[in-house]
Amino acid sequence: MTARLERDTAIVLGLSAVAGAALGGRRLAGGVLGGGLLLAISYRALKRGVSALGPPVAGEEARPAVSAGRVALGLIGRYALLLVAGYVIIGRLHLHPLGVLVGVSAVVVAAMVEAVRSRR
């Protein structure tokens, strides 16, 4: 299910970037892609944190245990990276903030699509 969610998120991001380019030009499309980058960084941080703290998946039973402090430091580092990336995307590259919001929200749209798909 997570693979479908990731795929659908990429599709939503691509369609949103194309629509942004058609409606608002490169700045809006770049904002959507920049928001997608922020989304990817955040998603990866959460996915790694959950997999490090949760029970091992099949085939990874022999993985070394990771301390909660190390996971917390990793998450703090990733969110610091998110702050810097957000500053660069909006403050330095002057990409459209609405496009960034659309890009970050792509996973929400993909989750709604998955919810509708699972009700069938």
- Cα 49 from chain centre: 14
Q: How far apart are CA 105 and CA 116, in angstroms?
A: 17
Q: Which residue has the tokens 């969610």?
A: 5
| Secondary structure letter of residue 65 according to DSSP | P
- Rounded to two decimals, what is the model's pTM? 0.85
How many other β-carbons are positioned within 10 Å of the β-carbon of residue 17? Answer: 22
Tell me, what amino acid is at 106?
Answer: A
| Secondary structure letter of residue 55 according to DSSP | P
- pLDDT by 10s per residue, the chain, length 120: 789 999 999 999 999 999 999 999 999 999 999 999 999 999 998 888 888 877 777 776 666 777 888 888 988 998 899 999 999 999 999 999 999 999 999 999 999 999 999 887
